[in-house]
Structure 1
Amino acid sequence: MNIISNRVRPIPTINRGNNSPTSKISVIDLPDEDSPGRSFTTSSTVNITLHNKPVDLQQELVILYKWMMYFGIGCPVRLLKKTRLHLYRLYSTAVLALLWFNFLRSATGIMYIERDDFVAQVVISAWFLQCALKATIWFCRDIKPSATEDFFKHWKTICQSQVSLQYGLGINQPKLQRSIRLTIAAIILLCIINTSIIFFARVGPIEETRNETTHYYAPLPSDAQIPLMALIPFETAVYFFPVAEFVLISKVLTKQFENLRFVVTECLKKKGSLIELFLGNIRAEHQHLAKAVYIADKTFSLYLAIEYSTTIAILTFLLYQLLIIHNQFSPFGYSMLVIWASAVALVISIISWFAAVMHEQAHEIVHFIHSVTVPSEPTGKYIMEMNMLLAKLNGTSIAFSVYTLLPITKAFILTIVGVMVTYFAIAAQSVEFIVETYT
C-alpha cells in the first residue's frame, strides 16, 4: 500500500507574512496489506518552497474595487454597508446613464457630420459603446454578484484549503499585494494620459487640432463641450479598470498552476514516479483549479466578447485613419491617433496574453505526467487516476473564453490577428461606399 504524508513546516519568520515558508513532502512506501511478504519500508522526502498561509483574494482586491467604485463602475455590494449602498447604487446608475447618453449622442452625430469626419466619428462612437457596455456588465454583475461570489468562495474554501496549500496552491501574499498596487498605478497612469490627451486636443492652444476634434461633441453645439468633457475621465476609467481585475485574477490562477507543476516535477526528480495517493491528490487539486477557471469564465466571458468585438472595429478604423487618410491630420492629431491606437492594441494584447498563458500553464503538467515511470504492476485505482488526469489535461481547454464559445489560447491570438487584417482590407475597400451612403 502506498501512502503519502504531507507536513507543512514553515520557516520561523517575524512579520514576514507568508513570504518564505517551505513544505516537506514525504513519500513513503509501506508493505501492501495483500502482500505480507513485503517487510521493507523506504522513505524519501522532497523539500519544496511553498506558501502555506491561505490568502483571501477578495479581500486583497478590495483596493481595486474601491477605485472602481469611486468612478461609478458597478455597485460593489460586497464592499458597502446597507446604509451607504443605496447612495452608491444611485451614483453608479447615474454614471451608467450618462455613458449610454454619450454613446447615443455620438452615434446620432454620424448623420450630421461632414464626410471627412465620418471615420473619426465611427471610432469615437465605437469607443463610447464599448465603455457603456463594460459599465453595464459590471453594474449587473455587482447588482447580482452570484457568479463573482461563487468564484471567491470556491477559491477561498477549496483552492486555499490546507491540503491545497501543501500541493502548491498557496500564494505569496506580499508579492500579490505588490502586484495589485503596481497594476492599479499603471491603470491610473493610463487614465491620466488618455484624459490629458483628449483635453489638450480640444481646449489646447493648437487651433487646427481643436477643429479636428469637433466631431467629439456632434451633433451638440460647441457650448456643450465642457459638460461632455467631464465624462471623459469616467469613460477612460471604465475602459481600463476592468482589464486590471481580469489580469490580476488570471495571474493568480496562472501562478497556482505553475506551483502545482513545480510540485510534480520536484517529486519526479526525487522519486522518478508518482505513487497512487499522490497522483490522486494532484488530480484533485488540478480539478479544483480548473473549476475555479470555469467559474471565473462565467464572470468574464461576456466582457471578453465585447472587448474583442468592439476592439477589432476600433483598431480597424484607427488603422484606416493612420494609413489611408493620414494626410488630413495635423502632426499632433496624427500623434494622438498613434497613441490611442497603441493603447487599444496594448489593452487587447495584455488580455489575450494573460489568458493564453493561463491556458498554457493549466495544460503544461501533461508533459511531465507522460514522463512518469509506471509501476510494473499498477493497481486499478492507479490506472483510473492516471486516465482521469490525462483526460482532463488532453480534453476541453481549461481557459477563459469569448462568451463561452472560443477559448483564448495562443492559436486564438493568431486567429484574431488574421481576422483584423482581413477586416481592415475589407473596410479600406468599402469605406468610400459607406461614406457616400450615409453622408
Structure 2
Amino acid sequence: MEVLHICLRPEHSWLFSAQASNMKVETITQSGVHITGNQKLSRTPFTSIEDKLQPILMSMKIFGIYFDPTQAKNKVEPSETYTSQEKPPRLWRSINRLYCYTVLLLLWFNVGRCAIGVFPLNEGLPLRIILMTWMLLCALNATIVITACQKLTHLRCFYKHWDSLFQCPVTDSLGCGFLFSRHYCRVGTAAGWFVSLVNIAALCVFMFGNLPLSPVYITTFARPFPESQLVVIFSVVLHVFQSGAWIFPIIFMSITSRVIRAQFFRFGQVLSKQIEQADGHIPHQLPELRFRYTQLCQAVDIINRSYKWLLGTCFILNIFLACFVSYEIINGPLDTFVITVNVFWLGGSVVCILVLAISSSDVHDAAHSLLDDIFSIGTRDASVEQLGQLNLFVSKLTGTSIGFTAIDFFVITKEFLLTLGGLFMTYFFLLLQFKIA
C-alpha cells in the first residue's frame, strides 16, 4: 500500500487531490500530530478558460466572428484530446472557419456598397455617414477578432499561457487559484443578445413598418442598388451579422478583463495575508509570488496584442459617431423619429466607450494595487537574495504601466476616461452655444 505524506502549514490549507484507487493518507502537522486513514482520492479535472468562456464564444460563433484556433485545445492530458472522434471536430472547425470568412467578406462588401452610396449630397447624407461609420466599425471588429483567432500568437497563446499558469499545483497551494464568475459571463452574454436583438428588431420595424422614416431607411440601406424587396431582405440579413460584430467583441473584452482583474485582486489578498503573517520579515514565498505575478502580467501583454487594435478602433470610430450624432441632434430636424434614432446611436456609442474604458482601466488599477502592500513589507533579518527579489518586485510595479493600450499609444486608465468625458462635454456645450447664438 502506498503512503502519502502531506505537511499542513498553519497559515494556509492545501486542497490535495490525486488520481488513485486506494491510497493511505498520512497527514503530519507542524506540531507533530499524525492523522492516518484510508481514502479514495479522485482528481478534479481542470477547466480551461476557453471552456469557461463558452457562452460568449458560442454566441460569437453564431454571428460568424469567432472560430476555434487551428491548434488543438489545451487539455490537462494530451491523450484525451480528440482520440476516437478526431475527424468530426476537425471538420466542424473547418466549416466554422469558412463560415466566419464568408461573413467577414459580406461585412466588407456592405462597407464598400455603403461607401459608394454615400453621394449625392442631400438631406439623407447624415444618416448615410452614420451608417457607413457604424458598418466600418462592425467590419473592423470582426476582422480583428478573426485575425486573433487565426494567429497562434494571439488568443491561442493567451489560452495556453493562462491555463499553464493555473494548472500549476504551486499556484493553488499559494491560494491564487483560477477565479471565474459564470454569472457575470451569462449576464454579459444575455446583455449582448438583448442589444443585438433590439437593434435588429428596430431596423425591421423601420424597414417593414410603413413609418414616416421607412422610405428614407429603405433608400439608404438599398443604395446604390434598386429598392427591391430582395435588396431590403439582404440588407436586413447583413444587419444581423453587423449587430453581433458590433456588440459581442466588446462584451468578450469586458468579460476577460473582469477575469484578469479578479486574479490580480486575489493575488493582492494572498500577498497581503503573507505579509501580515511574516511579522516584519520578508515572506518566504515571495519569489513564487513574484514569478506568478510576472506571468499574470505577461498574460495581459499577450491578450493586448489583439485588444489594442480593438480598443483603438472602437475609441476612434465611436468618438466620431458620438460627435457627429450630437451635431445632428442639436442642428438636425426636430422630428420625433429622427431624434429617437439619433439618441439611440449616441447612447450606443457612449456606452461602448464607457464599457471599454472602465474594463480596461480596472485591469490597470488591479495590476498596480499591490504597490502599497509591497512597500509595507518588513526587511528584518533579510538576506541579499530576499532583498533582490523584493527589488525586482518593486521594479515591476513601478516600471512600465501594466494594462491594455490603444494601438500602443497609451495605457487605458481612469484618467483617460475623465479626459475623454471632459472633451466631449466641452464639444457638446460649444455646439449648443452656437445653436442658441
Whether 1:238 and 2:230 are equivalent positions in the alignment is: no
Moved more, 284-293 or 116-125: 116-125
Whether 1:415 and 2:407 are equivalent positions in the alignment is: no
Structure 1 residues 379 and 134: CA distance shift in structure 2, 3 A:
same
Q: Distance in 1 between matches of 2:166 and 2:427?
A: 42
Map of 2:191 onto structure 1: 186
Counterpart contact for 1:317–1:424, Cα < 8 Å: no
Structure 1 residues 269 and 144: CA distance shift in structure 2, 3 A:
closer
Q: Distance in 2 between matches of 1:139 and 1:378?
A: 50
Moved more, 248-257 or 339-348: 339-348
Whether 1:261 and 2:268 are equivalent positions in the alignment is: yes
Map of 2:140 onto structure 1: 133
SS where residue 378 of structure 2 aligns? coil
Map of 2:60 onto structure 1: 68
Q: How far does residue 350 in structure 1 lie from its aligned partner after superposition?
A: 0.8
Q: Distance in 1 between matches of 2:400 and 2:367?
A: 11
Q: Aligned runs of 1:214-363 on 2, under 5 Å?
A: 214-223=219-228, 224-327=231-334, 330-363=335-368
Whether 1:121 and 2:140 are equivalent positions in the alignment is: no
Q: Structure 1, residues 172-193: CA drift from partner, whole Å, max 9, x if none?
A: 45xx222222111111001011
Q: How far does residue 54 in structure 1 lie from its aligned partner after superposition?
A: 4.9
Map of 2:109 onto structure 1: 101
Whether 1:92 and 2:100 are equivalent positions in the alignment is: yes
Matched AA of 1:171: F
Q: Distance in 2 between matches of 1:118 and 1:401?
A: 34
Map of 1:35 onto structure 2: none
Matched AA of 1:280: P
Q: Distance in 2 between matches of 1:184 and 1:219?
A: 35
Give the alignment's Cα RMSD to 1 decimal.
Answer: 2.9
Counterpart contact for 1:107–1:125, Cα < 8 Å: yes
Structure 1 residues 272 and 321: CA distance shift in structure 2, 3 A:
farther
Map of 1:18 onto structure 2: none
Q: How far does residue 110 in structure 1 lie from its aligned partner after superposition?
A: 1.6
Q: How far does residue 372 in structure 1 lie from its aligned partner after superposition?
A: 2.4
Q: Distance in 1 between matches of 2:131 and 2:430?
A: 20
Map of 1:33 onto structure 2: none
Q: How far does residue 196 in structure 1 lie from its aligned partner after superposition?
A: 1.2
Q: How far does residue 295 in structure 1 lie from its aligned partner after superposition?
A: 0.8
SS where residue 146 of structure 1 aligns? coil
Between the aligned residues of both structures, percent identity stands at 24
Q: Distance in 2 between matches of 1:276 and 1:266?
A: 10
Moved more, 306-315 or 204-213: 204-213
Counterpart contact for 2:192–2:248, Cα < 8 Å: yes
Counterpart contact for 1:209–1:332, Cα < 8 Å: no
Counterpart contact for 1:54–1:171, Cα < 8 Å: no
2:48 corresponds to which of 30, 49, 56: 56
Runs ≥4 in structure 1, deviation > 6 angstroms?
422-430
Q: How far does residue 147 in structure 1 lie from its aligned partner after superposition?
A: 1.7
Q: Distance in 2 between matches of 1:253 and 1:274?
A: 29
Q: How far does residue 150 in structure 1 lie from its aligned partner after superposition?
A: 1.1
2:405 corresponds to which of 386, 401, 404: 401
Q: How far does residue 384 in structure 1 lie from its aligned partner after superposition?
A: 0.9
Q: How far does residue 148 in structure 1 lie from its aligned partner after superposition?
A: 1.2
Q: Structure 1, residues 400-438: CA drift from partner, whole Å, max 9, x if none?
A: 1112221111112223334545777899999xxxxxxxx
Q: Distance in 1 between matches of 2:192 and 2:213?
A: 30
Moved more, 63-72 or 249-258: 63-72
Counterpart contact for 2:257–2:359, Cα < 8 Å: yes
Whether 1:81 and 2:89 are equivalent positions in the alignment is: yes
Q: Distance in 2 between matches of 1:196 and 1:237?
A: 13
SS where residue 119 of structure 2 aligns? coil
Q: Distance in 2 between matches of 1:100 and 1:274?
A: 60
Moved more, 290-299 or 267-276: 267-276
Counterpart contact for 1:155–1:292, Cα < 8 Å: yes
Matched AA of 2:57: Y
Map of 2:35 onto structure 1: none
- Unpaired runs of 5+ residues, structure 1, are 13-25, 29-40, 42-51, 431-439
Counterpart contact for 2:253–2:307, Cα < 8 Å: yes
Matched AA of 1:75: F
Map of 2:83 onto structure 1: none
If the length of structure 1 is used for normalisation, what is the TM-score?
0.80
Q: Structure 1, residues 9-57: CA drift from partner, whole Å, max 9, x if none?
A: 3499xxxxxxxxxxxxx9x9xxxxxxxxxxxx9xxxxxxxxxx985410
SS where residue 178 of structure 2 aligns? coil
Matched AA of 1:355: S
Q: Distance in 2 between matches of 1:85 and 1:378?
A: 54
- Unpaired runs of 5+ residues, structure 2, are 1-7, 18-28, 32-43, 74-87
Q: Distance in 2 between matches of 1:231 and 1:182?
A: 26
1:165 corresponds to which of 152, 156, 172: 172
If the length of structure 2 is used for normalisation, what is the TM-score?
0.80
